[in-house]
Amino acid sequence: MRGGSVVGWREVFSEFAGTALLLLFGLSAIVMDFSQDSPMMTLVPNVDLRRLLTAVIFSLCGTLIIYSPLGRISGGHINPAVTVAFLRLGKISAKSAIAYIAAQVAGAVAGAVIVSFIWGHRVKNSRLMVTVPGPAGTWAALAVEAAATFLLISLILVLLERPRLMPFAAASAGALGIILVFLAAPVSGAGLNPARSLAPAAISNTWDDLWVYLLAPVCGALGAAIMHQMRRRTIPCGKLIHDRAYACRLKNCFYSEFRRTE
C-alpha cells in the first residue's frame, strides 16, 4: 500500500483549525454584509453586489487555507463532502475519514461560536448564518446543493488527476466556488459543506430542513467520485495540495511512493 493509512494528530488538528478559520471569516462576511445594522447595507445597497462580495470572501478564505501550512499538512479538505469523495476513491481510510469529519464539524462549531461572540446582537437578531431553502422550496434547495457540490468536486478531481495541474486545483475550485455560491445562495443559502451548515444550526437551535444540507452535498460528492471511477482515472493523492515538504499520511499516495523510489 502506497503512502500512509491512518492520519495523525497534526492532520486532524489542521482540519479542525482550517474549518474553524473558514467559518470564522466566511460567517463574519455574511453577518457584515447582510446584518440590518451593518454599515455595508448603506455602503453597498445592492443586494447582488453584497452577495458577490460574500461569495468572494468565503471562497478566497477557503483557497488560502488550502494553500497554507494547515492545508498542506492535512490536504485541505475542510468539508466532509470532500473527505467522503476521497474515501470513495480509496485515498483516505475509513478511520481517517471519520477523524477528519469529526474535526471538521468540531472546527465549524468553534468558528461559529467565535463569530456569535464577536458579532453579538447582529447574529442573535438574525438567521443569517443558517442555511435554509429559499422561496423555491426544499426540493429546489436539495437539487441545487447536490448539483453545485457535484460540479465543485468534479473540477477538483479533474485537476488532481493531472500532477501538473494539481497546484491549481484549490485556486480553480475557489473561483468556481464564487460563481456557485453567488448563484445558489438565493435558492439554498449555498451551504455546499455539511459542517458549514450544521454548526450555525446547532448554536442557534435552528434545525429547519438541515437534512438537505447534510445529505445533498454528500450525494453530490459521491456522484462526482463515482463518475470519476467510471472514467477509470486515477487520483495520485487525496490532498488538494501535495507539498513534498510535508509528510503525507493519506492512503495510496503515489507521490510518496515516487519519492521513496527516487
pLDDT digits over 25-82, tens only? 999 999 988 888 788 888 989 999 999 999 999 999 999 999 999 999 999 999 999 9
Quick one: cell of 205? 437551535
Cβ atoms 37, 127 nearer than 8 A: no
Whole-angstrom distance, CA of residue 212 vs CA of residue 71: 27
Instruction: Taking the CA atoms of 205, 120, 190 and 77 in sequence, report the sign of the dihedral they define.
Output: negative
Residues ≥6 apart with Cβ < 8 Å to 32: 38, 40
For domain 9-261, give the CATH number.
1.20.1080.10
Q: Which pTM does this prediction carry? A: 0.93
Of 262 and 193, the one with more pLDDT: 193
Residues ≥6 apart with Cβ < 8 Å to 43: none
Dump pLDDT digits (tens) for 125-150.
Answer: 556 789 999 999 999 999 999 999 99
Dump pLDDT digits (tens) for 163-222.
Answer: 999 999 999 999 999 999 999 999 999 999 999 999 999 988 888 899 999 999 999 999
CA atoms within 13 A on the CB side of 86: 33
Mean pLDDT of 81-100: 97
